[in-house]
Chain A
Amino acid sequence: MGEVGQPIRKKDAMALVTGKPVYMDDLAPKECLIVKVLRSPHANALIEEVNLAGALKVPGIEAIYTWKDVPKNRFAQAGQTYPEWSPYDRLILDQHVRFVGDAVAIVAGEDEKCVDLAMKRIKVKYKVLPAVLDYHTAKDNPILVHPEDNWKSMFPVGADNHRNLCAHMEDEKGDVEKVFADCDLTLERTFHVPAVNQAMMETFRTCCYIDTYGRLVILSSTQIVFHVRRIIAAALGIPKSKVRSMKPRIGGGFGAKQTVVSEIYPAFVTWMTKKPSKLLYSREESQIAGSPRHEMEVTVKVGANNDGTIRAIEVYNLSNTGAYGDHGPTTAGLTGHKSIPLYTANLEAYRHTFDVVYTNICAAGAYRGYGATQGVFALESVVNELAGKIGMDPVEIRMKNVVRQGMCMMAYDNEIASGCRLDECLMRAAEMIGWKEKFPCKDMGNGKVRSVGIAMAMQGSCISHVDVGSATIMLNEDGSYKLTIAAADMGTGCDTILSQMAADCLNVTTDEIFVSGADTDFSPYDSGSYASSTTYITGQAVVRASTELEKRIRTLAARMLSCELEDVDYDGHVAKNVKTGESVTIEEIGYQAQCSNDYALQVTESYTSPVSPPPYMAGAVEIELDKETGHVEILDYAAVVDCGTVVNPNLARVQVEGGLGQGIGMALFENIQYSEKGQLYNNSLMQYKIPTRMDYGKLRVEFRPSFEPTGPFGVKSIGEIVINTPAPALADAIYNATGHWMRDLPMTGEKIAMAIAGEE
């Protein structure tokens, strides 16, 4: 015991820091066809004619496919458990192109040069249609993004393609109107979060080839190998058994790779030509045709008494899913579901309503935080403003209303906060930043103001009643163990932390376990790594499998020692018959399993959960704001997290720091701007400014771990929650420095300076 809780080096770390060839394009077969996608220059158009004559004459071109060549069954690219909430609204290639960047043709050739030349020579005649570019006008707009008859919604989410509606849902408990009427005051505000990009360093990419048995093998940078298999088989109209999907190391995902973005094009090429092929998205393609956060307008109304008691919360969000509905219905649900429960203590009623609309811009998808990020920004900002209105300290108003250990969270399906130290996180974050001395601000006398801001956040630890995690663990003849999973280590370190858990169950060290996966041919079924579920769900499967294997090892040892199970004393390496003193080593047991044995020392277990225990955190920031330019300099960021048991303090800490970095980028710099024709301006890392190491000061992280009784070793999750506090904490600090609330992300220096200028 004792591996869980140790800052163990990641199992793949040395391979990564020495630059070993472990990613898709390092491993792809050398003779791959190069695949590229010709993309629409129009936001909404019908393809009237495609002339391929010139392009096909380019030497080296293998094939060019257009909408006429692909199957006509619609599918969803969202990597979700079947039946998906996301509508079936895509074809591999469609005659109707719905955003600037939508796929028009797939070109495959022997090298990049010939493919690029052929792309230039394809002549497409478009019938350009008027487009829906403002998502406020999308619902019931006469221009339909999906007028087609074979559009299909698999789940009753209130979708109607003839209203540009991807989902409409309502959730309410208690009489919100009545409680609002009875409150001393209500405060209602509207916020905007743009469709920011994950901008993982490795863009979307996939290679495919045909194996010995004529099956399609997909090697892709993905978080979801099993969903890839299912979705690609469905899109190609071939049996699932004809597809194998696997992932190498992944150069970052953050949810982007929970959607089947790049896989279908090389899969189609390889299935048609039977030749290996690969597609690497350029950064521009990843920006304009990736799978970004859902742009949302979130309106929050909070009802409270003058003493700071928060009694009712209403959230309405209008979510822009873009041209396709991947993750549309599910993200919008989290906006209320994973923000309102923060204020459980005195909550009498709540209502959450949302519309998810189709428009003619890049389809959105899953991005760390998944809708909760937008909700937390809005709700936390309103609570900070509310505190000011009633003359209460923002920390104090939260301490009065915050969800605490043991409370029943009415806005969270009545789940019990069975492990919750959010109140302590809040107090500690405030203490770390020096809240009492620094709130609200200090004028530095040189045109600059120093101020502080604070916010809380929550997330989930899985999709309850849906996600399935599995693990297979096997004893080898040398006493080592193979742990096989289909959860995807995308840099997060799940290969390592799951091994730490297995090691503790088996009484060995993490080094004695090696990890294999994710591969649909060999790994046990796992939904994949998303929804913050891997540590909590797959972790529990690992614990179950390892515990059962340990029991089996003892049982086989008892047979070898000709004694009863209860007479076996096993320490992870040697099993001893306590009565005779006779012993067998784990190697001997391993060899015994391979000779004259019918008792497998290999166990597969699955796990699913009826609950999704929220991790909680508080973030407090200190900034220096230049009143002349509006520039915000982050001096210090204090984050205190209750993610349940911390399995690996190094990896958990880096998750927090990385999430804060992305949250800061979203809050201050990362912008999404479209031209009047629906072209994205921020289509490179030149125009889309993710933070560099010059862009913020210290990030300080502490943990206040509760023990979650339903989690393996008491864990919850950490992957997503960490992106949620920067935007509201920074908005609070900016208000405390300037007296202006920023409700439209990103909060650029320009916007802040204009707000200050407006008052003069």
Chain B
Amino acid sequence: MIVTITLNGKKIIEDISADMTLYQFVREHGCYSVKCGCETTNCGLCTVFLNDKPVLSCAVLAARADGQKVETLEGLQKEAEEFGRFIADQGAEQCGFCNPGMIMNAIALFRETSEPTDEEIKRYLAGNLCRCSGYEGQLRGIHEFIKYKKEGGASWAK
């Protein structure tokens, strides 16, 4: 079937198989930040934006993104850098494999919420597993990012 998907601002018209997942589609188009950690929608590593909303790309058929807008961290490099350095400054990226998915979801959180509480942060990111960091360093990084945002940084965030 032929689909039209706008991936990171670029319109792609392609003949795909009906059972192709959005995860497979974005990786085939060079979006290697998107990872697969579980195949059972538990880990959050494959998070992408479908029309600005975070979805698990392993559980969305590429066909369902026909005519829609898809974004991965490759298309959000400015945001990734601006937020990611607060994670890096805690050493909380560790192996890094879960980071793109978590950062996608964090970007979504900060587009929606200006000053999330710890409880809200944890709930929003609960589906983003990390086996290295124990999550505490990520939370510290997020606190630092909120401070930076209050001082006028990260214009993309709410």
Contacts and interface: CB of A to CB of B under 8 A. Distances in A.
A36 to B, nearest CB: 14
- The SS class assigned to the A binding surface is loop
Interface string A338-361: 000000000000000000000000
Contacts of B97: 23, 200-202, 251-252, 491
Nearest to B19: A113
B129 A201 contact: yes
A290 B100 CA distance: 25
A654 B96 CA distance: 13
Nearest to A684: B40
Given A18-B84, A252-B132, A685 B40 contact: yes
A651 B87 CA distance: 12
A149 interface: no
B98 interface: yes
A251 B91 contact: no
Interface stretch (A5-13, A47-55, A76-84): A5-13
B94 A654 contact: yes
A181 interface: no
B57 interface: no
B133 A657 contact: yes
Given A10-B88, A17-B103, A493-B91, A657 B136 contact: yes
Contacts of A274: none
Contacts of A26: 32
B95 A283 contact: no
Max chain B Cβ within 10 angstroms of own Cβ: one of A22, A251, A653? A251
B122 to A, nearest CB: 5
The bracket for how many chain A residues form the interface is 35 or more
B37 A202 contact: yes
B42 to A, nearest CB: 4
B129 A685 contact: yes
Nearest to B89: A9
Contacts of A199: 131
Contacts of A19: 32-34, 72-74, 80, 99-100, 103
Interface in A10-60: 10, 12-23, 25-26
A653 B137 CA distance: 9
A251 B134 contact: no
Contacts of A684: 38-40, 42
B92 interface: yes
Contacts of A23: 32, 35, 97
B4 to A, nearest CB: 24
Interface in A659-677: 659-662
B91 A654 contact: yes
A282 B91 contact: no
Interface string A474-489: 0000000000000000
A734 B47 CA distance: 37
B133 to A, nearest CB: 5
A659 B40 contact: no
Interface in B106-155: 122-123, 125-139
Interface stretch (A315-323, A428-436, A611-619, A686-694): A686-694
Contacts of A693: 122, 125-126, 128, 130, 135, 138-139
A510 interface: no
Interface string A631-658: 0000000000000000010110110111
A13 B137 CA distance: 14
Nearest to A27: B32
A250 B84 CA distance: 19
A684 to B, nearest CB: 5
Given A685-B42, A692-B126, A654 B95 contact: no
A200 B43 CA distance: 11
Dominant secondary structure at the B interface: loop
Contacts of A659: 134
A22 B37 CA distance: 16
Contact of B91 (A25, A283, A650): A650
B93 A13 contact: yes
Given A18-B77, A252-B97, A699-B136, A282 B39 contact: yes
Given A201-B45, A284-B39, A658 B134 contact: yes
Contact of B95 (A249, A650, A657): A249
B81 interface: yes
Contacts of B96: 12-13, 15-17, 22, 249, 251, 491
Nearest to A657: B134
A18 B40 contact: no
Contact of B93 (A17, A202, A656, A690): A17
Contacts of B91: 7, 9-10, 13, 493, 648, 650-651, 653-654
Contact of A202 (B32, B34, B95, B103): B95
Contacts of B77: 18
Contacts of B133: 654, 657-658, 661
B90 interface: yes
B45 to A, nearest CB: 6
Contacts of B129: 201, 685, 690, 692
A254 interface: yes
Contacts of A203: 37
Given A14-B84, A19-B74, A26-B32, A699 B99 contact: no
A15 B134 CA distance: 21
A203 B36 CA distance: 9
A202 B42 contact: no
Contacts of B158: none
Contact of A661 (B32, B89, B135): B135
Interface string B58-89: 00000000000000111001001101110111
A358 B120 CA distance: 48
Interface in A490-506: 490-493
Contacts of B80: 17-19
A244 B119 CA distance: 48
A252 B37 CA distance: 11
Interface of A: 7, 9-10, 12-23, 25-26, 198-203, 249-254, 282-284, 490-493, 648, 650-651, 653-654, 656-662, 684-686, 690, 692-694, 698-699
Given A202-B95, A252-B131, A684-B40, 7 more contacts: A10-B93, A200-B95, A201-B132, A650-B89, A654-B91, A657-B135, A685-B40
Which A-B residue pairs are the 3 nearest by beta carbons? Answer: A19-B33, A491-B95, A17-B84
24 contacts: A9-B88, A13-B93, A16-B95, A17-B99, A19-B72, A20-B32, A23-B97, A201-B37, A201-B129, A202-B37, A249-B96, A282-B39, A491-B97, A492-B94, A654-B133, A654-B134, A654-B137, A656-B134, A662-B134, A684-B38, A693-B122, A693-B138, A694-B123, A694-B126
